[in-house]
Chains A and B, each alone.
Chain A
Amino acid sequence: MTTPVAAPPDDLTALIPRKTLRARPLFDRELTQRALKQSFVKLNPATLINNPVMFVVEVGAALITVYLARDAVRGAPGVGFEFQIALWLWFTVLFANFAEAMAEARGKAQADTLRKTKTDTLAKRVAADGTMERVPASQLRAGDVVLAEAGDTIPGDGEVMEGIATVDESVITGESAPVIRESGGDRSAVTGGTKVLSDAIKIRITSNPGETFLDRMIALVEGAERQKTPNEIALNILIAGMTLIFLLAVVTLQPFAVFAVHAAGTGAVPSVAVLAALLVCLIPTTIGGLLSAIGIAGMDRVMQHNVLAMSGKAVEASGDINTLLLDKTGTITLGDRQAVEFIPVEGVDPRELADAAQLASLADETPEGRSIVVLAKEKFQLRGREVSELEANFIPFSAYTRMSGVDLHERRLRKGATDAILKFVKEQGGSIPASLEEISERIARSGGTPLAVADGSRALGIIHLKDIVKGGMKERLAQLRAMGIRSVMITGDNPLTAAAIAQEAGVDDFLAQATPKDKLEYIRREQAEGRLVAMTGDGTNDAPALAQADVGVAMNTGTMAAKEAGNMVDLDSNPTKLIEVVAIGKQLLITRGALTTFSIMNDVSKYFAIIPAMFAATYPELSALNIMRLHSPQSAVLAAVIFNALIIIALVPLALRGVKYKPQSAAGMLRRNLWIYGLGGLIAPFPCIWMIDRILGLLHLA
């Protein structure tokens, strides 16, 4: 049996169009310049205080600068060293600011692009009495009715009340192919700023000025409404707490040193510059400097997939998803069913069945109909005949008869639901072959759709229509399972059909003959057991479930109600993308954890650099701890501070891109990341600090 469809790509990511509009190189020139400027603006302590770690660094830098000025005036020795420490502490703050500004710049640039499209147009407002007046779009209120004709820019968000039109939504989606918008149903929402290409529609405006989808989108990509996510806040508390601990350790070190100097009778108490340097090296500046950049970049990555996340919280929650509700059609299976086999009843030649089926389908432009024609051609070399050559009378499908076909001279060829064909055959005075219903049932049980074919009073057999599971879907779902995510298929099919497809696709569970209410209840049940649920939806009747789900991705083609209920909008309306969103959420969390671990483990090496240097004069024996053999106490302290600053810049690409993420079990992932970021964080600084120390020596800087 051959399948009359092209093999789908193995990698499902290939199914997701990446929008060139949004993708920019990581260090785009324009963005970098913008970020450099912002790095200095962000030095303002009033804003920096939101980042306690960096605030402490700034205070330290300012303090040393004051000491530096005092010592320079007095002409005290060691000014050069103090100057270098101050300089690198300022750099530390600037580098962290740069990371954040870099992440923000991408969003700001996109917002600017969007803003350019937002010109104030004149709307054709239709008054209650039917008269039309031209008013600026900015004066439209929710409830107003406007007319949009070919060439007009739709003045605001709304629902189509009347008519059908093709609309260019590339402003929002970056997709140049026009889409159809019509009144009623799930394609009725239009977005302000998009353009009508043909025909005319009457629109009821649903949003007030400043609250339109475009406004919200600009605010979102710009990060204007960015709030710290729960996990980000918790992590901030942790690193602020660690900062406090290190503050205690360093501040008390001063009196300890006084005691030690007195006890040893030699040496000097470490200077404020050295103590501040130690403090800055110990507090988790790496993660403190990169934390907000990681969050912004995570949202940006979602955006690069053309998904608009309404909050960072939603992106974070997507990493936690336990249950993924996937619509069968279009997500798990290709959108349409395909004919895969002709099964005749006894005494009928398969070729005859195929021929009749092809004739009955010639005028059927549905994908199912076309697939029948193709299958007949492939199996029996039956050429699709020219419809016009035949003096045929085509019978279109109707919901009433539930069959379609063709009247060809005396022949009355029909195809349709098995019971409908049975009824037709009986009406024509024919008898029913015993095997027809049996075949039909067998196909239904296997998850297929049986389509019976009759030639007048003769029932010929059954066409087996099948849902085709998307290529690679099974592997993808297995990966999800390995990550601990259950996939649930939602379908309107009967349980029998659903079970068969569920098994073929490898989903963990399915919800057959699902009504919106069933979906909502399923989500509630899962949540009651402590699971987090993600789903996609587009219809108005999906809205309650989208609102209930922890992550609800609304399709951009869907209704305004659905878009408002969900916490993400997929501008491409590709339901498979939910899986990518989950991966991005996980990647975001992993990046945070990895850099926190790395940052903390780094401290060990800095102790080995700074502690022996601090007490070199008091307790020369402590040089046994100078395992890197740094050449002088000053160079040791400087090398540690420089490493501490440079590592922030070095990790900016990682923070913006996210750490490499490979779906696997939690235990495997933890082991891998602990090796890389835990052990790596412990070891990596040693050679780096050693190298910086050598360079400082060569340059005679310390």
Chain B
Amino acid sequence: MTASGVFYVVIYFLVLLALTKPLGLYMANVFEGRRTFLTPVLRPLERLTYRACGVREDVEQRWTQYAASLIAFSLVGFLFVYAMQRLEGFLPLNPMGFGTAHAPANQTAMTPDLAFNTAVSFVTNTNWQAYGGETTLSYWVQMTALTVQNFVSAAAGIAVAIALVRGFARKQMRSIGNFWVDLTRGTLYVLLPLSFLLALFLCARGVPQTLAAYVKARTLEGRVQTIAVGPVASQEAPKLLGTNGGGFFNQNSAHPYENPTPLTNFVEILAILAIPAGLTYTFGKMVGDTRQGWTLFAAMSVLFFVGVFICTHAEQAGNPNLARLGVETRATAGQPGGNMEGKELRFGIPGSALFTVATTDASCGAVNSMLDSYTPLGGLIPMFNLQTDEVIFGGVGSGLYGILLYAILGVFIAGLMVGRTPEYLGKKIEQKEVKMAMIAVISTAFAILVFAAVTLDARFAAHGYWNPPGPAVANVQNGGPHGFSEVLYAFSSASENNGSAFAGLNANTPWYNLTLGLAMLLGRFLFMIPVLAIAGSLAAKKKIPETSGTLPTHGALFAGLLVGVVLVVGALTFFPALSLGPIVEYLLMLKGKLYSSLILTAWS
């Protein structure tokens, strides 16, 4: 790893650290209904929303009602996004005529399975994209369907996290807040202002924001090149701040119109983790002990640094086989060295690796480099980040409730070792909490492993309905462990609602659209509903006063324990699978054995 690479990560972390407290404090104020500096401007809008929707903001909900509201809201969002995509040809703001007779020749057809997959993807905050934005969707769909979900699916995640925090903070109460109020506040007070600022900044650095048609440019060769533009900045900002990750363009943040400069790159990475980091402080503030929040922050930071340094180091070290051939792979004054394949020159290795780690630490899934081209260990890190349920700062809201589930499991096992039935923040961790936490952990493991296994084992008729283009097995474009990684990564990304792609996989087939869509639904709702059940159960409990006999859940010991639980649970579940993917690929690479070509065509 180069000195500038280390410097880049450290500077990034310090800025993130500086943002955590002010942002966290602000969010605590917002969700506890206190006055903030934006109240004069936004409060009328908030009230108007409640009046228009018939929400009574003073009425609180039990966890079941909260969960029902969440599901109902997501279902309506799904139906809306699905309908908008299927009907895009009849809707306005469609200068390129997608879905109509005069669409560009390279248009991706909006099939029912693709529309299903995309609708699920955006409603679940996954933003897996089996389509290319600039060749598939009209501005209307991008704005009213996708960008709206970029805000509200993120706000729903924050709402669930806040509900869980209330569960810890409250004593003997039946209610955990009002979903509609939390959703509205998260959108209005948190995501909207931050997105507004970020979008303005991106516009200033050259990101387009227009409703005009794509630009036709004449190249030096005299050919006509179509340059896709659109309302990019307004979708880009919530894409990152809401850890959505669904890019306006197919190339996502590698595209110069989404992420034009090293500075925008730095700000974009910051935007991914800012709210999740801030929420740790919000948590501490709301439970009345900010040390608790900082402990989570510390545990996350340790995992963050481990991931960033391994990934950057692996990428900077590059492929030893190239070095063996006499190619210079070290960083020199004139070139970055390492593995630059699939990376943008303007970001370099540190700017790409940090983006990749941050986007998978969170459930973001935006990418600025091609993961399929990473070295085996460089690719192992993002995959492992997904499989440990994205709790390193994590997605907005989902990171916090994810790490709290790990904390509950950690407290349950280790807490026994202090000779008391386990308690966390004064709440006894009993059957219901353990059961729900296990359901959440099992559901994502199930979705990843079972769907990947079925996909790898299913033998479709070549060019049949389920797998129209390409090879019959799993549709991967690489052989050996790398092909395996591509499939495992896809289902990890979908199940964990990340949305980034390892790529190297043609995922726009009815089979993948269906299974990945189901994986996203399982990973989202079979995680969130148990979390809400825990919130309800905790809120109803007494709060046991802390004594010297209580397991301290702040400080280095507990942070270390939490890191251990995340690593051990993740490693034990996925070690066999990973050993057949990136781990063996790495060992093979050291022996000079590489897999690049497609060798599976014969198998049908």
A residues engaging B (CB < 8 A)? Answer: 230-231, 233-235, 237-238, 241-242, 244-246, 248-260, 262-265, 278, 282, 316, 319-320, 322, 481-486, 529-531, 585-587, 589-590, 592-594, 596-597, 600-601, 603-604, 607, 611, 615, 619, 621-622, 624-625, 661, 665-667, 669-671, 673-674, 677-678
| Shortest beta-carbon distance from A404 to chain B in Å | 47
Q: Which of B409, B480, B600 is close to A238, meaning CB atoms less than 8 Å apart?
A: B409
B561-A245 in contact (CB<8A): no
B417-A316 in contact (CB<8A): no
**Mostly helix, strand, loop or mixed at chain B's interface?**
helix
Known contacts A230-B431, A263-B480; is-contact A589 B450 (Cβ 8 Å): no
| Shortest beta-carbon distance from A634 to chain B in Å | 18
Count chain B residues whose beta carbon lies closer than 8 angstroms to a beta carbon of A: 74
| Shortest beta-carbon distance from B70 to chain A in Å | 24
Given the complex of chains A and B, what is the CA–CA distance between A611 and B302 in angstroms? Answer: 28
- Residue numbers in A under 8 Å from B430 (CB-CB): 230-231, 234
Given the complex of chains A and B, what is the CA–CA distance between A609 and B584 in angstroms? Answer: 15
Given the complex of chains A and B, what is the CA–CA distance between A234 and B534 in angstroms? Answer: 14
Q: Which of A238, A253, A265, A482 is close to B412, meaning CB atoms less than 8 Å apart?
A: A238
- Residue numbers in A under 8 Å from B413 (CB-CB): 238, 593, 596-597, 600
Q: Which of A241, A255, A319, A484 is close to B550, meaning CB atoms less than 8 Å apart?
A: A484
A667-B557 in contact (CB<8A): yes
Known: A601-B568, A607-B575, A666-B551. 12 other contacts (CB 8 A): A244-B438, A249-B445, A249-B573, A249-B577, A252-B449, A263-B480, A530-B542, A589-B421, A590-B416, A594-B416, A625-B579, A674-B561
Interface residue B574 (Cβ < 8 Å from any Cβ of A):
yes
- Residue numbers in B under 8 Å from A677 (CB-CB): 417
A253-B577 in contact (CB<8A): yes
Contacts of B550-586 to chain A: CB distance below 8 A: 550-552, 555, 557, 561, 564, 568, 571-577, 579-580, 583-584
Name B568's closest neighbour in chain A (CB-CB).
A600
Can you report 24 A-B residue pairs in the complex whose CB atoms are below 8 A from each other? A237-B431, A237-B434, A241-B438, A248-B445, A249-B449, A249-B574, A249-B576, A250-B576, A252-B450, A260-B484, A322-B545, A484-B550, A530-B542, A530-B544, A530-B545, A590-B419, A604-B568, A607-B576, A619-B587, A621-B587, A622-B579, A667-B557, A669-B417, A670-B414
A621-B543 in contact (CB<8A): no
Interface residue B591 (Cβ < 8 Å from any Cβ of A):
yes
B414-A319 in contact (CB<8A): no
Name B436's closest neighbour in chain A (CB-CB).
A237
Interface residue B479 (Cβ < 8 Å from any Cβ of A):
yes
**In the complex, per-residue mask of B249-269: 1 if CB is within 8 Å of any chain A CB, else 0:** 000000000000000000000
- Residue numbers in A under 8 Å from B446 (CB-CB): 248
B481-A260 in contact (CB<8A): yes
- Residue numbers in A under 8 Å from B417 (CB-CB): 590, 593-594, 597, 669-670, 673-674, 677
- Residue numbers in A under 8 Å from B599 (CB-CB): 263, 265
Name B430's closest neighbour in chain A (CB-CB).
A234
A282-B587 in contact (CB<8A): no
What are the 7 tightest A-B residue pairs by CB atom distance, in nearest-first order?
A484-B549, A593-B416, A586-B419, A484-B547, A241-B438, A593-B417, A252-B453
Given the complex of chains A and B, what is the CA–CA distance between A320 and B547 in angstroms? Answer: 11
Name B593's closest neighbour in chain A (CB-CB).
A621
B421-A255 in contact (CB<8A): no
Given the complex of chains A and B, what is the CA–CA distance between A692 and B421 in angstroms? Answer: 37
- Residue numbers in B under 8 Å from A258 (CB-CB): 456-457
Interface residue B276 (Cβ < 8 Å from any Cβ of A):
no
| Shortest beta-carbon distance from B416 to chain A in Å | 3
B416-A589 in contact (CB<8A): yes
Q: Which of B549, B588, B595 is close to A666, meaning CB atoms less than 8 Å apart?
A: B549
- Residue numbers in A under 8 Å from B434 (CB-CB): 234-235, 237-238, 241
B576-A256 in contact (CB<8A): yes
Q: Which of A241, A263, A282 is close to B481, meaning CB atoms less than 8 Å apart?
A: A263
Given the complex of chains A and B, what is the CA–CA distance between A482 and B548 in angstroms? Answer: 6
A666-B449 in contact (CB<8A): no
A282-B551 in contact (CB<8A): no
**In the complex, per-residue mask of B403-425: 1 if CB is within 8 Å of any chain A CB, else 0:** 00000010011111111110000
- Residue numbers in A under 8 Å from B583 (CB-CB): 622, 625
Interface residue B205 (Cβ < 8 Å from any Cβ of A):
no
Contacts of B375-409 to chain A: CB distance below 8 A: 409
Given the complex of chains A and B, what is the CA–CA distance between A169 and B544 in angstroms? Answer: 41
Given the complex of chains A and B, what is the CA–CA distance between A645 and B544 in angstroms? Answer: 40
Given the complex of chains A and B, what is the CA–CA distance between A175 and B549 in angstroms? Answer: 35
B416-A257 in contact (CB<8A): no
**In the complex, per-residue mask of B464-496: 1 if CB is within 8 Å of any chain A CB, else 0:** 000000000110000111011000000000000
- Residue numbers in B under 8 Å from A254 (CB-CB): 453
Known contacts A263-B479, A484-B547, A677-B417; is-contact A256 B573 (Cβ 8 Å): no
Known contacts A262-B603, A622-B584, A622-B587; is-contact A255 B453 (Cβ 8 Å): yes
